[in-house]
């Protein structure tokens, strides 16, 4: 997967995970992504952190220190209001792009 | 925006953020390890796997840091730090570059601070752009009874024009002030009572009331802040009395600091209506008054002018068309800076050239260094620095240089301003003090940054164009002369330096020759060993002309008797001594004359003199006789005219025993008894005026200059002259004593101002250009050491090498010379108004300037060339 594509999609994936799972720490997000992708996505978990920082700078997610299930100190991320809005537009965009790609690929191959 | 802000914050909270990030990453790893341990791994194993699946912790950290801060800003600071280190490592290079830039930037900052004060800084009045002068006698002649006491009529008449919100007229002159300490003379203005409303200035205390223009109630005054401080704080001074021209004036107001309009006025008094000053004397015919008005908002200058002309010439179309040519409504600011504006822009252009040359010099230096640092740059590129990063770094260095140069330049400017202030002609309008203030700083910053980008660009190109492989292989140093872009850029820079400095040399040369011509002008009298001073008799105590004559003759008798005094005289106009425009008269001739029809208004400058005036000044008698003590009250009225006037009226005829008079209802015929040589009044560059002299005993005026011809140094005798004056009237203050040579020097101040400054800038330009050429030549020689060694080993003689190297520099100079000459032909045209007795295309100036540049350039090429001839072929060859 190309790096640029990854960056854009990673943002969307993180937002989606936070929307469906509620506030989560970085490790949890990484685990969840691995689960969903059924290990199709080979990602260094470290790549997550610049993405989290970026989303925070844009004001789409916020963070708070808290305790994890097994009582370790961890930073929890949650979706903000503008993040929710962003997610909706992104989802729409993604849908459109995906549909377009699909049509295009079907046409050229058929 | 938000991202930018949080990133900016990120820079400053670096430590805190790093710590937080570490904690977060650690907690992530811990969670990961926990899970692996739960799955049954040993802690060590788990730790390994955790690290692997996380990826590089350090990379993550670095990526986060990049995301958090502004990487380009941080790298910019890094570049700056690195640049600073580079500059410190090469103190010689840095010093040369900074001094060069300081000269260029400093000259610009200094000239800009003058321009800022004179042209840009707003006048201290609200909506100053609506303040206008009204010029043009033809219009005011249409005003009923505008002379001699018609100032009020002019004002009231102007008030009828809808274009103006307020109108006023004023008159300026020097007044005697007695009061706190010594009697003193200063500039005063008689103004109509609404003058302050026109300016839009409210004095502390109050302005004049309308009824204070009535004679008897008009003994009130407004003081300037500066004058007021000599008596005490404004609150104490308002209500007190001061003695002006021997009369008591009650101070009713004090102007805000810094307002001395018109000119350098210190005291404002109401213009009494109707005007009576000088009535019955020869002065009575003059229009003394300057009309000033405040336009209504939205009214244009042209609209105002057309309305006034319509009012004056209702129905008279021919008259209106004629008046349109001479009548002007001009903004006060425009009118006052009219003469200075072109000079100041000229000087700014000149310093702009100097700065360009300085930048070209530094660009050359940087190019040279770029070549030396080629290896370093190549290495950086090979290690993965992107090209844009390399360009950024060279730009950062050049900006650093230009900022250092700007700092040093500002110091230089601040220091040189002391000298420039002395050179500024006293009649130049300055809306603010000449100093380094905020606009000057902004301007300096702007030109330094622009300069830095300009000369930083050249080495950046170099960084762009290099080929990694070739450069590394070449091993750096040995090459033949510069070819390609590098050599081209260097050549262009050197040629432009030569061209720019030649333009400045020629411009300065033209001004210097004008100045020399001006100094050679014969003023029509002998200015050496002449002491001058001015006196205005207090009106109140010298109401009768006999009293005045008594005073004048008392003074003359005492002064003439002083040891060391050759002769002494009074005159109402001092040549080159200041304003004379107030006594121009129309003349008519009694006898039919071929040239001048009866009643034609021909203007002449009328001067009232005591008999010894011509002898004292050294003005030659050409025909007839001079005045004597016999030309008094009862004797026939006589006059002496200047050669130019005689020529204009009578041509080849003799004017002696002809009669002339002012036009008027009752001609006052004067018999011409003598013709004297011309003198220059308005300035050395002005044509001699047509002059008419009348004897003091027949026209005792109030304002007079005392001129004393001395046998030794004039200033030595000033104290004794002062004492002699005090013996006649101890309350009568004289203005400063000036020698005639000082007067002449003052009259040449505007010319000196531009000549000295342009001369300095041209010299600066030449020096910088020569230094630049020298630098380029030395560099070329050092690069070609190997080649020269080979040539010499093959049998080239020293002369050949010398010729080759000097020839190369000479070619650049010739190109610069050619372009500079073409540029000068185009630009000296702009100077033509400032030149005197020299044509804009003066071949001598062009020749000398070209010669100076050529010689300087040859010298700059010769020294490195000499070095080249000393190359030892063996050493040069082994150099490889």
Domains of chain A: residue spans and CATH? 9-109 (1.10.10.10)
Q: Across chain B, what does the average pLDDT equal?
A: 81
pLDDT class for B689, splitting at 50, 70, 90?
Answer: confident
Secondary structure letter of residue B406 according to DSSP = H
Secondary structure letter of residue B275 according to DSSP = -
Q: Tell me how long chain A is.
A: 110
Per-residue tokens: B584: 């121009």
CA–chain centroid gap for B429, Å, is: 10
Taking CA atoms, B367 is separated from B90, B278, B321, B476, B773, in Å, by 15, 74, 64, 15, 14
Query: Is B63's CB within 8 Å of A50's CB?
Result: yes
With 80 as the cut, is the pLDDT of residue B4 above it?
Answer: no
pLDDT the model gives residue B285: 41
pLDDT the model gives residue B763: 94
Average pLDDT for residues B544-564, to the nearest whole number?
A: 87
With 50 as the cut, is the pLDDT of residue B163 above it?
Answer: yes
Residue B467: which residues within 8 A CB-CB, separation 6 or more?
Answer: none
- Residue pairs spanning A and B at CB distance below 8 A: 74
Secondary structure letter of residue B163 according to DSSP = T
Task: Select from A33, A75, A56, A9 the least CA-distant residue to B27.
Answer: A75
Q: Which residue did the predictor score with more confidence, B619 or A57?
A: B619
C-alpha B118/C-alpha B435 separation (Å) is: 11
> Measured between beta carbons, which residues in chain A are less than 8 angstroms from residue B59?
46
Q: How many CB atoms lie within 10 A of CB A5?
A: 9
Lowest average pLDDT, out of B140-154, B390-404, B462-476, B636-650, goes to B140-154
Interface test with B, best of A45, A47, A58 (most B CBs within 10 A): A45
ipTM of the predicted structure?
A: 0.79
Rg over alpha carbons for chain B, rounded to the nearest Å, is 38
Lowest average pLDDT, out of B411-420, B503-512, B733-742, goes to B733-742
Query: Is B60's CB within 8 Å of A50's CB?
Result: yes
Q: How many CB atoms lie within 10 A of CB B795?
A: 7
Per-residue tokens: B314: 């209702």
Question: By the 8 A CB rule, do B132 and B329 touch?
Answer: yes
Q: Give me the half-sphere count of Cα atoms (radius 13 Å) on the Cβ side of residue B492.
A: 13
Query: Is B67's CB within 8 Å of A50's CB?
Result: yes
Q: Which residue did the predictor score with more confidence, B3 or B851?
A: B851
Cβ under 8 Å to A: B residues 7-36: 7, 20-21, 23-25, 27-28, 30-32, 34
Lowest average pLDDT, out of B68-77, B259-268, B441-450, goes to B68-77
Cβ under 8 Å to A: B residues 47-86: 53-57, 59-60, 63-64, 66-68
Query: Is B21's CB within 8 Å of A49's CB?
Result: yes
C-alpha B65/C-alpha B58 separation (Å) is: 10
Give CA torsion, residues B138, B143, B147, B152, to 10 deg.
-130
Query: Is A27's CB within 8 Å of B31's CB?
Result: yes
Q: What b/e sequence results for B45-75 when a residue is b if at least 16 CB atoms lie within 10 Å of its CB, and e otherwise?
A: ebbebbeebbbebeebbebbbebbbbeeeee
Interface test with B, best of A24, A27, A63, A64 (most B CBs within 10 A): A27
pLDDT class for B604, splitting at 50, 70, 90?
Answer: confident
Interface test with A, best of B17, B23, B24, B37 (most A CBs within 10 A): B24
Average pLDDT for residues B284-304, to the nearest whole number?
A: 78
pLDDT class for B869, splitting at 50, 70, 90?
Answer: confident
pLDDT the model gives residue B149: 39
Q: Where are the alpha helices (DSSP H) in B466-591?
A: 468-474, 484-520, 545-561
Query: Is B63's CB within 8 Å of A26's CB?
Result: no
Residue A19: which residues within 8 A CB-CB, separation 6 or more?
Answer: A79, A84, A87
With 50 as the cut, is the pLDDT of residue B758 above it?
Answer: yes
CA–chain centroid gap for B869, Å, is: 48
Interface test with B, best of A6, A39, A46 (most B CBs within 10 A): A46
pLDDT the model gives residue B442: 93
pLDDT the model gives residue B667: 65
Question: How many Å lie between the alpha carbon of A37 and the closest alpha carbon of chain B?
Answer: 16
pLDDT the model gives residue B467: 56
Q: Which residue did the predictor score with more confidence, A37 or B603?
A: A37
Q: Tell me how long chain B is.
A: 880
Query: Is A44's CB within 8 Å of B54's CB?
Result: yes
pLDDT the model gives residue B477: 42
pLDDT class for A2, splitting at 50, 70, 90?
Answer: very low
Q: Give me the half-sphere count of Cα atoms (radius 13 Å) on the Cβ side of residue B714.
A: 20
pLDDT the model gives residue B100: 93
Ranked by mean pLDDT, which of A23-32, B489-498, B817-826 comes out on top? B817-826
Residue B33: closest C-alpha in chain A = A27
With 50 as the cut, is the pLDDT of residue B787 above it?
Answer: yes
C-alpha B379/C-alpha B472 separation (Å) is: 8
C-alpha B332/C-alpha B121 separation (Å) is: 14
pLDDT the model gives residue B702: 62
pLDDT the model gives residue B642: 92
Average pLDDT for residues A30-59, to the nearest whole number?
A: 79
pLDDT the model gives residue A3: 42
Residue A26: closest C-alpha in chain B = B28
Residue with token string 């309008």: B429
Lowest average pLDDT, out of B179-183, B230-234, B246-250, B702-706, goes to B179-183
Average pLDDT for residues B236-241, to the nearest whole number?
A: 89
Average pLDDT for residues B558-586, to the nearest whole number?
A: 76
Share of chain B above pLDDT 70, in %: 83
Exposed, middle or buried by CB within 10 Å (0-12, 13-18, 19+), for B865? buried
pLDDT class for B148, splitting at 50, 70, 90?
Answer: very low
Lowest average pLDDT, out of A8-17, B291-300, B654-663, goes to B654-663
pLDDT the model gives residue B284: 38
Task: Select from B264, B242, B687, B756 the least CA-distant residue to B508.
Answer: B756
pLDDT the model gives residue B874: 75
Cβ under 8 Å to A: B residues 306-335: none
Residue B32: closest C-alpha in chain A = A27
pLDDT class for B658, splitting at 50, 70, 90?
Answer: confident
Q: Give me the half-sphere count of Cα atoms (radius 13 Å) on the Cβ side of residue B861.
A: 21
With 80 as the cut, is the pLDDT of residue B478 above it?
Answer: no
CA–chain centroid gap for B295, Å, is: 29
- Report helix, strand and coil shares of chain A as percent, to nearest 5: 65, 15, 20
């Amino acid at each position: 997967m190309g790096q640029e594509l990854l960056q854009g999609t990673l943002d969307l994936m993180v937002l989606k995970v936070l929307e469906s799972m509620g506030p989560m720490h970085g490790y949890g997000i990484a685990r969840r992504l691995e689960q969903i992708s059924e290990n199709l996505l080979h990602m260094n978990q470290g790549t997550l952190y610049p993405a989290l920082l970026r989303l925070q700078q844009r004001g789409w997610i916020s963070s708070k220190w808290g305790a994890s299930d097994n009582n370790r100190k961890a930073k929890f991320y949650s979706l903000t209001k503008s993040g929710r809005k962003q997610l909706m537009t992104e989802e729409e965009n993604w849908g459109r792009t995906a549909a377009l790609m699909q049509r295009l690929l079907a046409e050229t191959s058929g | 925006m938000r991202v930018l802000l949080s990133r900016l914050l990120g820079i400053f909270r670096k430590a805190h953020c790093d710590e937080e990030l570490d904690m977060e990453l650690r907690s992530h790893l811990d969670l990961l390890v926990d899970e692996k341990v739960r799955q049954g791994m040993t802690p060590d194993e788990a730790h390994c796997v955790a690290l692997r699946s996380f990826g590089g912790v350090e990379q993550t950290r670095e990526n986060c840091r990049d995301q958090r801060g502004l990487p380009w800003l941080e790298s910019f600071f890094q570049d700056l730090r690195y640049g600073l280190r580079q500059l410190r490592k090469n103190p010689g290079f840095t010093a040369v570059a900074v001094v060069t830039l300081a000269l260029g930037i400093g000259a610009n900052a200094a000239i800009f601070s003058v321009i800022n004060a004179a042209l840009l800084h707003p006048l201290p009045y609200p909506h100053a752009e609506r303040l206008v002068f009204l010029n043009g006698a033809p219009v005011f002649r249409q005003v009923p009874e505008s002379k001699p006491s018609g100032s009020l009529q002019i004002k009231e008449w102007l008030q009828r024009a809808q274009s103006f919100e307020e109108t006023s007229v004023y008159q300026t002159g020097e007044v005697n002030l007695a009061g706190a300490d010594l009697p003193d003379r200063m500039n005063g203005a008689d103004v109509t009572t609404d003058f302050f409303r026109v300016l839009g200035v409210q004095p502390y205390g109050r302005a004049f009331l309308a009824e204070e223009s009535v004679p008897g109630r008009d003994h009130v005054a407004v003081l300037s802040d500066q004058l007021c401080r000599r008596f005490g704080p404004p609150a104490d001074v308002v209500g007190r009395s001061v003695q002006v021209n021997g009369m008591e004036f009650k101070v009713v107001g004090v102007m805000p600091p810094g307002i001395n309009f018109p000119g350098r006025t210190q005291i404002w008094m109401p213009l009494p209506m109707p005007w009576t000053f000088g009535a019955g004397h020869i002065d009575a015919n003059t229009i003394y008054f300057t009309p000033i008005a405040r336009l209504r908002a939205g009214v244009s200058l042209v609209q105002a002018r057309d309305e006034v002309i319509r009012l004056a010439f209702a129905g008279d179309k021919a008259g209106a068309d004629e008046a349109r040519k001479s009548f002007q409504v001009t903004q006060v600011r425009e009118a006052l800076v009219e003469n200075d504006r072109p000079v100041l822009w000229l000087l700014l252009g000149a310093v702009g050239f100097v700065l360009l040359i300085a930048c070209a010099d530094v660009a050359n230096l940087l190019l040279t260094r770029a070549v030396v640092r080629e290896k370093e740059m190549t290495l950086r590129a090979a290690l993965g620095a992107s090209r844009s990063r390399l360009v950024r770094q060279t730009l950062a260095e050049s900006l650093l240089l230009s900022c250092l140069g700007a700092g040093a330049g500002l110091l230089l400017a601040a220091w040189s301003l002391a000298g420039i202030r002395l050179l500024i002609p006293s009649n130049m309008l300055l809306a603010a003090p000449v100093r380094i203030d905020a606009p000057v700083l902004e301007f300096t910053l702007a030109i330094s940054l622009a300069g830095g980008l300009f000369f930083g660009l050249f080495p950046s190109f170099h960084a762009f164009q290099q080929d990694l492989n070739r450069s590394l292989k070449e091993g750096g140093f040995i090459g033949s002369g510069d070819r390609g872009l590098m050599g081209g850029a260097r050549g262009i820079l050197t040629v432009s330096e030569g061209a720019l400095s030649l333009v400045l040399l020629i411009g300065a040369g033209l001004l210097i020759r004008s100045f020399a011509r001006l100094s050679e002008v014969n003023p029509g009298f002998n200015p050496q060993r002449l002491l001058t001073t001015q006196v205005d008799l207090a009106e109140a105590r010298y109401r009768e002309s006999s009293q005045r004559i008594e005073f004048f003759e008392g003074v003359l008798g005492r002064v003439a008797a002083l040891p060391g005094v050759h002769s002494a005289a009074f005159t109402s106009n001092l040549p080159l001594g200041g304003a004379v425009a107030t006594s121009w008269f129309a003349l008519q001739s009694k006898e039919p004359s071929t040239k001048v029809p009866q009643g034609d208004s021909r203007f002449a400058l009328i001067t009232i003199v005591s008999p010894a005036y011509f002898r004292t000044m050294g003005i030659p008698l050409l025909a007839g006789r001079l005045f004597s003590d016999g030309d008094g009250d009862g004797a026939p009225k006589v006059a002496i005219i200047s050669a130019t006037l005689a020529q204009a009226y009578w041509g080849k005829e003799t004017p002696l025993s002809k009669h002339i008079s002012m036009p008027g209802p009752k001609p006052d015929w004067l018999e011409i008894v003598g013709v004297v040589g011309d003198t220059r009044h308005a300035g050395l560059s002005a044509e001699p005026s047509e002059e008419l002299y009348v004897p003091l005993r027949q026209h005792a005026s109030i304002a007079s200059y005392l001129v004393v011809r001395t046998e030794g140094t004039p200033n030595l005798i000033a104290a004794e002259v002062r004492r002699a004056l005090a013996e006649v009237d101890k309350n009568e203050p004289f203005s400063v004593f000036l020698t005639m040579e000082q007067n002449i020097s003052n009259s040449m101040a505007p010319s000196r101002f531009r000549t000295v400054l342009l001369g300095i800038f041209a010299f600066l330009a030449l020096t910088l250009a020569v230094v630049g050429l020298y630098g380029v030549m030395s560099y070329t020689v050092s690069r070609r050491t190997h080649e020269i060694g080979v040539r010499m080993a093959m049998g080239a003689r020293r002369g050949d090498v010398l010729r080759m190297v000097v020839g190369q520099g000479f070619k650049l100079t010739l190109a610069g010379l050619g372009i500079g000459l073409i540029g000068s032909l185009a630009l000296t045209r702009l100077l033509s108004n400032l030149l005197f007795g020299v044509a804009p295309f003066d071949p001598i100036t062009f020749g000398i300037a070209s010669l100076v540049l050529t010689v300087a350039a040859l010298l700059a090429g010769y020294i490195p060339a000499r070095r080249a001839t000393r190359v030892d072929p063996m050493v040069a060859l082994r150099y490889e």
